[in-house]
Amino acid sequence: MPYRIPDRERRDLTPEEVLSDATGEVAARLSVPIGSERFVMFSLICLAGLFGIFLRVVWLSVVHHDVHAQIAENNRLRSRFLAPNRGLLFDRFGRQLVENIPTYDLLIESSELPADASLRDQEARALAEVLSATGSGDVSRIRAQFDAAEQRSLLVAEDLPSPVAISFAARHDEFDGVVLAMAPRRFYGDAEALYHILGSVGRASEADLTAGYRMSDFVGKSGIEASYETLLRGTGGLEQTEVTAKGEEVRLLSRKEAQDGEHLVLAIDADMQRVAYEALQGALKKFRAPGGAVVAVDPRDGSIRALVSAPSIDANRMAGRLSPQEYQDILADPRHPFFNRAIAARYPAGSTIKPFMGAAALAEGIVTPNTIIEDRGAISVPSVYDPSVVYTFRGYATLGPVDIFSAIARSSDIYFYIVGGGFGSIKGLGIERIAAHLDRFGFGKISGIAIGGEEAGLVPTSAYKEAVKGEPWRIGDTYNVSIGQGDMGVTPLQLALATAAIANGGTLWQPRLVDRTVDGQYQTLRDYAPIVADPEVASSAIVAVIRKAMRQTVTNGTARLLGELPVAAAAKTGTAQTGKLTDPFNALVTVFAPYENPEIALAIVVEKAGEGNEVAVPIARDILMEYFKES
């Protein structure tokens, strides 16, 4: 119970009484006297506190002066990133292939968020009101994002509807640390037909953010968009304004304009790309084939006029934000639409390898243009280990006497078994010389096309078989490679480039996808000159023989349907085994036209669809009929 002065003792004290008797009755009634020890302790505590304050002042104002001065300056300034426009893509005739569609995102800028928790709560509620129409106006989610945004930027909402963006802009004074950022979204015309060339863009990943991108940035993820990201991206600008303590803008201090990305003029023909895609899709549906590819090359400089892989993906779908489940569904699709068959699928070449085998045999003197070989439909070879064991290698038909022209035109297996592996008096090339010549034509190695994912294919050798399978090379292996079977695998791109080398007289080009870059006024900024991979894959005399043989394939061989074209064409069909003899065959054809002055070379593969002359040749006819329709 608190001490209470009795009424009888209660009276007013004068200052004189207090001062005159500090140890008397009055002092006793006021307080207990302070001892000297307590006084010393209290003084030391005060001195220690003052010294601590002094040290803190020195630490902040002297040691960390520059840091805190910068923080103060930043609190006075507001920086706004100015996004550049991503460079556009055009085809060889200047037809625009993509657009940048203006959209808006909301970003959290952590450095400008209010520090006070109650102010953050208030701002989160206001932002939830603005976003309520989008279905993302969850206060707790927004508040959690505010806390998660420490030391970085975060995306609150993307691709805002115009009314929502306008609503936020009208109330922007209510928000510190939340900014409206323009994020141009990519829109592709012919989105499926062009996907495997152009690729797509996507939101910046964690790795992209580390490399200097912002959360609202779109980054090239595949195709041309990824390969030429540095040029297409452009350079961001920066605007700095002075603001009051309440965040109100006072004046513009500086502005560095964004530099838009460069526009790319591609070598492709958008019309040919579309026609090729539609023709291939029609064949896949008709023959219930799982996939295929078409590659068109200009033999004069290696320019890629069309590069189609089917099935494909809608590039506009990829440019959005796929959910993890949607992405997994695409990955799980057994047709593998992400897979660029044109540059990465390793197909058995089948009989489309025969023109290049013929060039090798002529170059090595195994045969001459006049050499006749009897095609009896099969050859029998005894085992080198046990002569009593005889292996029989059959052709698809008995063709009788053939030379190199009719062997290519009518696709004699027996002729190429013999020139490849030898039989009777003809020694044959042998696998090492076969590999060396096919290497000259670009098989078994990367071509250098300017999009990612290219595969080298395979030309097997004895060393390869020993290393991979632990088995010795046998004559049967050479026979199989000689007709494009066995372990041999080529890409449609390789077939098109090698065919272009025959068409132009012997020059193998590096594939060329980009012709030049231009500015906003379509003025050239940089050129991409054609690059020769090999100036002479075979002599002009040998190439002339192979060209003539491929022409006969159209006039009286397996590709007569191409005789309907308004120009003369040369071709080689192929039907390749894909496993067991009972399995469906891959259908192939290679073509170049016009015969005298070639300007286009094609390679077409349709998986597990049947005979090359029945499946692939009609596709080639439709593509070239459209291409030469004005000739």
User: pLDDT by residue (tens digit) across 582-615?
Assistant: 789 999 999 999 999 999 999 999 999 999 999 9
**How far is residue 309 from each of residues 195, 284, 405, 518, measured CA to CA in Å?**
9, 11, 32, 28
Q: Model pTM greater than 0.75? A: yes
Predicted local confidence at residue 385, as pLDDT: 77
User: What CATH architecture is 270-627?
Assistant: 3-Layer(aba) Sandwich (3.40)
Q: Give the span between the Cα atoms of 107 and 146, in whole angstroms.
A: 10
- Domain extents for the chain? 1-63, 78-240+248-266, 270-627
> HSE-up of 544 (CA within 13 Å, CB side)?
5
User: pLDDT by residue (tens digit) across 502-552?
Assistant: 999 999 999 999 999 999 999 999 999 999 999 999 999 999 999 999 999
User: pLDDT by residue (tens digit) across 488-505?
Assistant: 999 999 999 999 999 999
- 396 and 416 Cβ atoms separated by less than 8 Å: no
Tokens of 75: 């609190």
- 342 and 196 Cβ atoms separated by less than 8 Å: yes
Percentage with pLDDT > 70 across the chain: 88
Instruction: Tell me the β-bridge partners of 372.
Output: none
Predicted local confidence at residue 142, as pLDDT: 84
Q: Give the span between the Cα atoms of 263 and 285, in whole angstroms.
A: 36
Determine the 3-state secondary structure of 238 from DSSP: strand
CATH superfamily of 78-240+248-266: Penicillin-binding protein 2a (Domain 2) (3.90.1310.10)
Predicted local confidence at residue 14, as pLDDT: 46
- What DSSP character marks residue 582? T
Is the backbone peptide bond immediately before 594 cis, with ω within 30 degrees of 0? yes
